[in-house]
Chains A and B, each alone.
Chain A
Amino acid sequence: MAYLVIARKWRPKTFSEVVGQQHVTITLENAIKNNRIASAYLFSGPRGVGKTTTARILAKALNCETGPTVTPCNTCVPCKEISEGRSMDVLEIDGASNRGIDEIRSLRESTRYTPSSLRFKIYIIDEVHMLTTEAFNALLKTLEEPPPHVKFIFATTEVNKVPATILSRCQRFDFRRIPVEKIVEQLQTICEAENIKIDREALYLIAKKSEGCMRDSQSLLDQVISFSGNEIKEADVISLLGMIDHDLYFEISQAIADKNLAELAQIAQRIYDQGYDTNDLITGLIEHFHNLLIMKSTGATDHLVAAQGQLKQYEQETARFGETDLIRIVQLLTETAAAIKRSVNPHIQFETLLFRLARLPRSTELQQLLDDLQELKKKAQPRTIVTERPGFKFIPEIAADRLTGSLFSKINDLSQKGYAGIASEREEVPTSGQYPPVELRDIQEKWPAILAAVKKRKIHFGALLEEGKPARIQDNNKLDIVFEDGNGYHIHTLNENKKLIESAIHEVVGKKVFVYCYQSSQIPVAAEPQPEPAMVAEAPAPEPAAQQAAPAPDPVAATPEPEPAPREAPATAPASQGHRWLEDNPLAQKIIESLGGEPIER
Chain B
Amino acid sequence: MNATEITFDGIFGQETAKRFLAQAFRQGRLAHCYLFFGPEGVGKLATALAFARALVCQSEQQRPCGTCRNCKLFVARSHPNVQVIFPHPKSAKESDVQAVLEEIFSQPYIWHSPWASPSISIDEVRSLRRELGLSSQGGEIRVILFLDAHLMTAEATNALLKTLEEPPELTYFVLISSSPDQLLPTILSRSQQVRFSFLSVQEITAGLARFTDLPEDRRRQIARFAQGSLRRALALAGENVQQLREQAVELLRAAFRNAPQRAMHVTQLVQQHDRRVLMEILESLLHWLRDAHYLRLGLGDDQPSVGYEDRETLQRFNERFADFDFDSAIAEVDLSIHMLRRYVQPNLVLSVLLNHLRRCEKHANSTEKLRRMAL
Judge: A and B partners, yes or no: yes
Q: Measuring CB to CB, which residues of chain A are less than 8 angstroms from any residue of chain B?
A: 1-3, 5, 8, 46-48, 52, 94-97, 99, 126-127, 130, 157, 213, 215-216, 219, 222-223, 225-229, 239-242, 261-262, 265, 269, 272-276, 339, 342-345, 347-349, 351-352, 355-356, 359, 361, 365-366, 368-369, 372-373, 375-376, 489, 492-493, 496
- Given A348-B287, A376-B374, 6 additional A-B pairs, CB 8 A: A3-B29, A344-B341, A348-B330, A351-B290, A373-B374, A492-B375
The interface-forming segment of B158-166, B247-255, B349-357 is B158-166
- Does B367 reach chain A (CB closer than 8 Å)? yes
Q: B192: which A residues are within 8 A, CB to CB?
A: 219, 222-223, 226
Is B374 a contact partner of A369 (Cβ separation < 8 A)? yes
Whether A269 contacts B155 by the Cβ 8 Å rule is no
Known: A5-B31, A222-B31. A157 touches B186 (CB 8 A): yes
For residue B185, which residues in chain A have a CB less than 8 angstroms away from its CB?
A: 46-47, 157
B227 nearest in chain A by CB position: A345
Given contacts A219-B192, A265-B299, A275-B195, contact A226 B371 (CB under 8 A): no
Q: Does B256 contact A (CB under 8 A)?
A: no
Q: At the interface with chain A, which of B84-92, B109-117, B209-217, B331-339?
A: B331-339
Interface residue ranges, B against A (CB under 8 Å): 16, 19-20, 23-24, 27-32, 38, 122, 125-126, 129, 155, 158-162, 165-166, 169-170, 185-186, 188-193, 195-198, 200, 227-228, 283, 286-287, 290, 293-294, 297, 299, 303, 305, 326-327, 330-331, 334-335, 337-338, 341, 367, 370-375
Q: B193 contacts which chain A residues (CB < 8 A)?
A: 223
B189–A215 touching, CB < 8 Å? yes
Is the Cβ of B334 less than 8 Å from the Cβ of A94?
A: no
4 shortest A-B CB distances, which residue pairs? A275-B197, A96-B158, A372-B374, A226-B24
Neighbouring B residues of A365 by C-beta, 8 Å: 367, 371
Asked whether, in the complex, the Cβ of B330 is within 8 Å of the Cβ of A352, the reply is yes
- Known contacts A46-B185, A273-B200, A344-B338: does B286 contact A226 (CB below 8 Å)? no
Query: Which residues of B sit under 8 angstroms from A5, Cβ to Cβ?
Result: 31-32
Q: Inside 8 A of B283's CB, which chain A residues have their CB?
A: 344-345
The interface residues of chain B lying within 8 Å CB-to-CB of A228 are: 23
Bound together, the chains give a CA A352 to CA B190 distance in angstroms of: 37
Q: Which residues of A contact B161 (CB under 8 A)?
A: 94, 96, 126-127
User: Which of B27, B32, B286 is the one whose CB lies under 8 Å from A229?
Assistant: B27
Give the most central of B125, B160, B334: most A CB within 10 Å.
B334
A-B contact pairs, 19 of them (CB 8 A): A2-B170, A3-B28, A3-B29, A96-B162, A97-B158, A127-B162, A127-B186, A130-B158, A216-B189, A223-B192, A223-B193, A226-B24, A226-B192, A239-B16, A240-B20, A265-B294, A342-B338, A347-B198, A369-B374
Complex Cα distance, B187 from A96, in Å, reads 13
Determine the distance from Cα of A127 to Cα of B160 in the docked complex, in whole angstroms.
11
Given A216-B189, A275-B38, check contact A8 B166 (CB 8 Å): yes
Q: Judging by beta carbons under 8 Å apart, are A269 and B305 in contact? A: yes
Question: Which of A97, A215, A339 sits near B126, CB closer than 8 Å?
Answer: A97
Nearest chain A CB to B26 CB, angstrom units: 9
Contacts of A52 in B (CB 8 A): 165
Q: Tell me the smallest distance from the CB of B172 to a CB of chain A, in Å.
A: 9
Q: Considering only CB atoms, which chain B residue lies closest to A370 in the complex?
A: B374
Chain B residues near A261 (CB-CB < 8 A): 297, 299
Q: Is the CB of A240 within 8 A of B303?
A: no
- In the complex, are the beta carbons of B29 and A215 less than 8 A apart? no
Q: Which of A226, A239, A272, A375 contacts B27 (CB 8 A)?
A: A226
Partner of A226, one of B20, B159, B197: B20
* Residues in chain B near residue A130, CB distance under 8 A: 155, 158-159
Bound: A2/B338 CA distance, A = 48
Residues of A close to B162: CB separation below 8 A: 94, 96-97, 126-127
Please measure, in the bound complex, the distance between the C-alpha atom of A229 and the C-alpha atom of B195, giving whole angstroms.
Answer: 19
Please indicate the chain A residues that have their CB under 8 angstroms from the CB of B27 in the complex: 225-226, 229
Q: Say yes or no: A344 contacts B337, CB within 8 Å.
A: yes
User: Of B28, B334, B367, which contacts A348 at CB under 8 A?
Assistant: B334
Among A8, A343, A366: residue with most chain B CB under 10 A: A343
- Taking CB atoms, residues of chain A closer than 8 Å to B190 are 215, 219
Query: How far, in whole Å, are A339 and B195 apart by their CA atoms in the complex?
Result: 23
The CA-CA distance from A166 to B192 in the complex, in Å, is 34
With A1-B169, A3-B30, A5-B31 as given contacts, are A348 and B286 in contact (CB-CB < 8 Å)? yes
Instruction: List A contacts of B160 (CB < 8 A).
Output: 96
Contacts of B122 in A (CB 8 A): 97
* Cβ-closest chain B residue relative to A374: B374
Contacts of B191 in A (CB 8 A): 219
Query: Cβ of B331: which chain A residues have Cβ within 8 Å of it?
Result: 339, 349, 352
Chain B residue numbers with a CB within 8 Å of A489 are 372-373, 375
| Complex interface: chain A residues within 8 A of B198 (CB) | 272-273, 275, 347
In this complex, what residue of A is CB-closest to B27? A226
- Pairwise interchain contact A339-B335, C-beta atoms closer than 8 A: yes
Shortest beta-carbon distance, B8 to chain A, in Å? 16
Given contacts A213-B189, A239-B16, A345-B283, contact A493 B159 (CB under 8 A): no
Whether A372 contacts B186 by the Cβ 8 Å rule is no
Q: Which residue of B lies closest to A460 (CB)?
A: B372
Contact of B367 with A361 in the complex, beta carbons under 8 Å: yes
- Shortest CB distance A333–B (Å): 14
Once the chains bind, are B29 and A97 in contact (CB under 8 Å)? no
Min CB–CB distance B152 → chain A (angstroms) = 12
Distance in angstroms from B291 CB to nearest chain A CB is: 11
* A371 and chain B: residue at smallest CB distance: B374
